[in-house]
Every structure is written in structure tokens, then in C-alpha cells.
């Protein structure tokens, strides 16, 4: 095949969504008498997390969302963080609360996520919101898989009756992604690190979503010609000269000539995740 896959440009779509949200906020703020508020809680000094938090706060500023972020030292205790969440749950200026993962090992992330008021769960990871997704009820949706769905919709990808394969089963991406694809009438297979002959399963996919966190896991021979490939992976790799760059879970160079559409890394799903976070915050604000 001499043709090359169309790029699914998450960055351009996310910029457009931010503009729409900014216009909504300007109108709503007149009635509400305050801007929407998002609180991102970060613990420790993970450089990748710090970069993500800066991105989120910059995006908030663009849209007109007030940031109530808090940065805790790596030694912060479970009780301190639970106290911070309880205070934010009661704070009427705050519509969304998010705990930046990963957390230091001594903290219980699940217990903290469960403390967040479900209507303020900007990441869509509270059991109540995941339960609504399972039941197909409206609610706050997990940002990364929701961003994938929004991107596919923007490029008019019809999922009805398509074979979708999700590689990865995390509660952050894999499981909610599979549920959202089912909701869109795709036939869904979930594969993961323990799946024998991953290539054979991946090759059945009309739509392949990869969220494992392993560079170049998916190579050309694992992709059906004409498939739509969504790469959720974000891996920092260092080349021979010591220069670091971001790559996905898909070997982009070998897969691009075979696929019909493919997301770049960076510039694909990353910006969409942030856009969905902002959308969830504005949705909570609107509900109030």
C-alpha cells in the first residue's frame, strides 16, 4: 500500500473544544456570578506529573476556569489528603476535583478517589460514575476514553458493527474504553499483557485502541490493513545521544502506511484528555 494513514489530530480538535467551552463559560458566568473551578491535587515531584498539571492549569486559564490546585510534599499523609478533599467537596467555588496519579507508594489512591464527591469527580473515576457508565446512564465520563470517542466522532468513524479491540485493561482507560465502544454498538474484545498471541487478536480489529504503556508494542504485522489505530500510550524514551522524546505504544513509522487513520504521539489523545477534563468541570458547573 503506497498510501499513508490520515492523522487523527487531537491537538486541533482539543483547541476547538476549548474555544467552545470558553464561550459557554462566558455565558454561564453571568448567571452563576462566578467562574467554574477545578482543583488538581498533586503529591511529590514527579516531573511528568508536574508537566501534566501545568498543562491542565494553562488549559483552565484559556477557558476561564479558576484553578484551586494544591501541591503537597511527597511525605504528605493519607489523612492530610483526605482532609483536603473533604474541604474541596464543601467549597462552592469548586466544581471539579482531580488527584494527579501516580501517587507515592505509601498513599492509597483508590481510597482518595472514593472520597471525592461524585458530582465533582472531574476524572470520571469514582465508582458511582463508573457504575453509571456500565448502566449507560448519563454522568461524568473518564477523560481519556471519552477523548478517544470524541476524536473518532469528529472524524466521522462509524463504530456500529465494527470489530474493536482494546489492548489494556486499566480502570483509567482500558475498561471504560471497552464500555464506551460497546455503547457505540461496536463488537469489543479486550486483550492485555497476559493474552497469548496478541498479534492474532489485534489483527481482527477494524478499530484498535492501545493503552498499555510499552513503547512500540504494536508493530505493522499486528495491524489489519485499513484499520483505525488509536494510540493512548505516552512513553518517554531516550535515544543514543541522551535526548528524550515521547512515543506511543504503536510503532508509528511501520503502522502508518498500513492503517487508514492513526493518532500521533504526542498530539493525539493527550490534548483530548485535557479537553474532556475541562468539559467535565464545565458540565458539573452547569449542573449546579
> Are 219 and 240 within 8 A, CB to CB?
no
Longest dimension (CA), the chain: 59
Residues belonging to the chain: 288
Annotated binding site for NADP(+): 168-170
Annotated binding site: 168-170
- Measured CA to CA in angstroms, residue 275 lies from 25, 58, 71, 204 at distances of 14, 12, 22, 31
Residues in contact with 77: Cβ distance below 8 Å, sequence separation at least 6, in sequence order: none
Q: What cell was used for 67?
A: 484553578
Q: Catalytic positions, please?
A: 56, 100, 123
User: Which alpha helices (DSSP H) does the chain contain, by range?
Assistant: 10-32, 47-63, 78-90, 109-115, 127-135, 143-154, 174-183, 198-202, 252-255, 269-287
Torsion angle in degrees (nearest 10) through CA of 138, 142, 144, 148: -20
CA gap 216, 207 in Å, rounded: 18
Amino acid at each position: 500500500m503506497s498510501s499513508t494513514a490520515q492523522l487523527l489530530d487531537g491537538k486541533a480538535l482539543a483547541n476547538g473544544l476549548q474555544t467552545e467551552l470558553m464561550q459557554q463559560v462566558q455565558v454561564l458566568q453571568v448567571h452563576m456570578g462566578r467562574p467554574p473551578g477545578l482543583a488538581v491535587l498533586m503529591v511529590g515531584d514527579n516531573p511528568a506529573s508536574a508537566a501534566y498539571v501545568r498543562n491542565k492549569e494553562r488549559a483552565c486559564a484559556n477557558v476561564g476556569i479558576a484553578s484551586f490546585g494544591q501541591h503537597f510534599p511527597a511525605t504528605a499523609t493519607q489523612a492530610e489528603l483526605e482532609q483536603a478533599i473533604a474541604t474541596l467537596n464543601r467549597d462552592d467555588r469548586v466544581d471539579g476535583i482531580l488527584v494527579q496519579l501516580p501517587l507515592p507508594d505509601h498513599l492509597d489512591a483508590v481510597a482518595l478517589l472514593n472520597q471525592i464527591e461524585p458530582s465533582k469527580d472531574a476524572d470520571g473515576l469514582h465508582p458511582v460514575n463508573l457504575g453509571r457508565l456500565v448502566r449507560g446512564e448519563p454522568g461524568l465520563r473518564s477523560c481519556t476514553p471519552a477523548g478517544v470517542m470524541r476524536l473518532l466522532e469528529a472524524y466521522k468513524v462509524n463504530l456500529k458493527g465494527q470489530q474493536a479491540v482494546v489492548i489494556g485493561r486499566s480502570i483509567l482507560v482500558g475498561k471504560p474504553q471497552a464500555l464506551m465502544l460497546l455503547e457505540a454498538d461496536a463488537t469489543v474484545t479486550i486483550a492485555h499483557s497476559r493474552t497469548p498471541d496478541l498479534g492474532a487478536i489485534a489483527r481482527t480489529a477494524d478499530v484498535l485502541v492501545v493503552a498499555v504503556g510499552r513503547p512500540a508494542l504494536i508493530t505493522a504485522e499486528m495491524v489489519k490493513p485499513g484499520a483505525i489505530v488509536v494510540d493512548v500510550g505516552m512513553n518517554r524514551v531516550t535515544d543514543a545521544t541522551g535526548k528524550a522524546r515521547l512515543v506511543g505504544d504503536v510503532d508509528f513509522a511501520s503502522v502508518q502506511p498500513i492503517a487508514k487513520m492513526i493518532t500521533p504521539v504526542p498530539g493525539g489523545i493527550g490534548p483530548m484528555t485535557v479537553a474532556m477534563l475541562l468539559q467535565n468541570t464545565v458540565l458539573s458547573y452547569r449542573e449546579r
